[in-house]
Amino acid sequence: MDENHEEVAKEQARAGETPHVGRYVLLISTVLLAIAFLVMLVVFS
């Protein structure tokens, strides 16, 4: 099973620069979760 395949660089494989969307989504969702827990703490205590 010696198939011919082309080796490409990471930049070529992903077609340039990748945005850090995942990092921002994780940050925003973590902050929103913390706010939700604080609101529940204030309301139910």
Give a yes or no: residue 23 inside a domain.
yes
CA angle 14, 28, 37 (to 5 degrees): 145
Provide φ and ψ at 2, rounded to 5°.
Answer: -100, 85
Give a yes or no: residue 25 inside a domain.
yes
Give a yes or no: residue 2 inside a domain.
no
pLDDT of the residue at 3: 76
pLDDT of the residue at 44: 94
pLDDT of the residue at 19: 74
How would you write the pLDDT of the chain (45 residues) with one tens digit per residue?
Answer: 567 888 887 777 776 566 788 899 999 999 999 999 999 999 998
Q: Which domain holds residue 34?
A: 10-43
Q: What is the pTM of this model?
A: 0.57
pLDDT of the residue at 22: 84
Give a yes or no: residue 3 inside a domain.
no
Give a yes or no: residue 1 inside a domain.
no
pLDDT of the residue at 21: 84
Total domains in the chain come to 1
